[in-house]
A and B are shown apart, each in its own frame.
Chain A
Amino acid sequence: MPLLSVDELKVTFQGQGRRASTAVSGVSFDVDEGQVVGLVGESGCGKSVTSLALMGLLPKKGVRVEGRADYRGTDLLSLRPSAMRDLRGTQLAMIFQDPLSSLNPVVPIGVQVTEILSRHRGMRGQAARDEAAALLERVGIPDPTRRLKEYPHQLSGGMRQRALIAMAVACAPRLLIADEPTTALDVTIQAQILELLKELVDQEGTALLMITHDLGVVAGLCDDVNVLYAGKVVESADRRNLFAEPAHPYAHGLLNSIPRLDAPRGQPLNPVRGSINDQIAWADGCAFAPRCDHYTLECLEGAPELGPLAGAGAPAGHQVRCVNPVRERLETVTLADVGAGDDSPAEPVTQKEETSE
């Protein structure tokens, strides 16, 4: 049984006197113990809303959350707020995008770390301070006792994110949700932070739900990947299969759009044309159809179902929501490249390709 099983999660925002807008329209995915699952998509596809809904952090007013999210047999979405508060930090924890604004500017780091320890582990005084220092040490912050007395603005961006990770793992949660944890950081720091996350996940067996738009991060970190488009999972596959053989035209387009260093000068980039449009509902057909190069009339007859990729040699567990999946191996990314991510997380996915002579 998976650790977290999200089933048909649907989030609708209903403003007073305004048309309801659906941010997440039926997302399902599983996260197993100790597994790293990626949730990938462009801005506005519902990644962050999904994570906030799982944590119960969406505002109560004007938001409707439907579906189920089974965590060890309890449905997170129907849990009472007080029970949810007890789960947060101990069972589920979250790391946010911007490490500066996620720390309270007027409270020293130490207080912010010990506050979690006293809340969930009942630690007080010197014991809590020692534990906080040990936590900071563990996430690679040098001179932790001094850092505990400092304020967020005195720490560098990478260190702030480390401190936030320390707070998140303070009570050894079973599931860590990371909402674009490296977006606000330099590339070199990104690599360090991803390395740290990977290390923690490996050591503790914590499951990680990685929300990102950075395919490089996915390549280096995730076991399974779910590609989101307009609030629905359009493709769900093992990392290797997704990068080698993206079946949904959107995933295919995304991977194809990554510029290559060895491309001849002057060769145009291949963007996915158009932009995401929330006016197009899935009920009328595939929401990606207007941007798709392969669409047929069949695409507009109701929403396609997420189903296993058909055809000979299709790997098990590779699911796609498309009536005309792309059946072509991507030449830009090789398995060796993706596999190389095992030791260097931030390595770009499109490096020089080995198969081309």
Chain B
Amino acid sequence: MQNSPLPFRGGVGGGDSQPLCNAAMPHPNPSPEGEGLLKHLFLFLLALLGLVALAPVAAAQDAAPAADDEPELVEFDTAKVRRIAVPALVAPSPADTPAGNSATLGRQIAEVISANLRNSGLFEPQGPAGIRPITIEEVTAPQYDYWKGRNVEQLVEGFVRVGGDGNLTVGCYLYDVNFGQELTRLGFVVPPREWRRAAHKCADAIYSKLTGELPFFDSRIAYIAETGPKGKRVKRLAIMDSDGANHRFITNGQSTALTPRFSPNYKSILYLSYQDGNPRIYVYDIDSGRQRLITASKNPTFAPRWSPDGQTILYSMAVAGNTDVYKVSVNGGSPVKLTSAPGIDVGGSFSPDGRQIVFESDRGGSQQVYVMNADGSNQRRISHGGGRYATPEWSPRGDLIAYTRIAGDFRVGVMRPDGSGERLLTDSWQDEAPTWAPNGRVIQFFRTERNSGKTSVWQVDLTGRNERKLPTPVDGSDPAWGPVLP
């Protein structure tokens, strides 16, 4: 990456083009400059505007990995664990904000970056605890020799400034210690209460740059929070950041809530509620707190999914005991029935291009995974490994389908869309209902304990080696991962 000098200094940012409202807002780093930075900013903004779909922010000008049609799973290089130092971000002139002092925020941002990288399983971060603080000068002139002595390969440095309008400017730099070279840099302006988003964006840039994968930390999860005895669980709709922070309950538990899905723009959530006594799918609007049924039908509806463009809702409906898959416009109108086999056709998940749907059916005698065109044509079975296959979920990257395999125990696995390359990722009594990280390289699911019925949300990467439980205030099930935040 070149970092050629610019014809002007400090021309962008510096508080003169602050966002006009208090929404999260990426922004150029005010202190350092360089063509590389502006180029990154430019690409980043294009990505935000949807002009560069899912381009890795920082790696865009380097060879970002293109999504192959049939990539080998080994391309996800997880054998290498990268040693990376993450000292606290510097606050050159510490100031109080509603979210705390900026010096404290600098440390907390580093903590979130470090935790994100560690939890991905692909990094062995040092710091911010236990490593020395850095100076503001070091942010742009790292002491490579010192960090070599710490036996790290990469170094993350940055700063936090409080602007005149009270917003934070967060600068984030990634260096290769051995080559003495800057790898990427990013700047963000955020309201103090959204400081975690700056940390996630920074961690995403580091993750993307060093693994070649698309980002995923700056995203949110909808799930079902569970309490109470097994025979009478209280199930509430809840949302949280991808790392479990900023947790919020949406429903109060008076009616059982199940199987939520964030809309692609995070404005609403599809979920099942027994609110009127029967299982029905509602669209819950996050801003207004209002919700509505997706169909006027009195029949039970369940297993809701969004199309990738957020314009179509896929769902299952039972009529006189026979369940089929339907789709309906998000604006209402007549539902289209996509399956008609006798028996249970249920669930379903769109391919990222919206042209195909993977679903499950017991038309052949037991639950198996089928693929069809989005208009219902060309239905064909793709699972052939023995046992039952359920809850298929198409990766946002398109290359894989995740599922629950039932052979006594429930395990989460992945296969290619043609059914080949089947691989189980987890091994427990009941692991159910995978949902993909926005980069298609990490999966969340929920695990149920035998006898007690206690549930928890877990995460695993495609190697199956990096598995961990997500922190939730109470038990959790039915996780649904949303896209990377705009």
* Chain A partners chain B: no
Interface residues of A (CB under 8 A from B): none
Interface residues of B (CB under 8 A from A): none
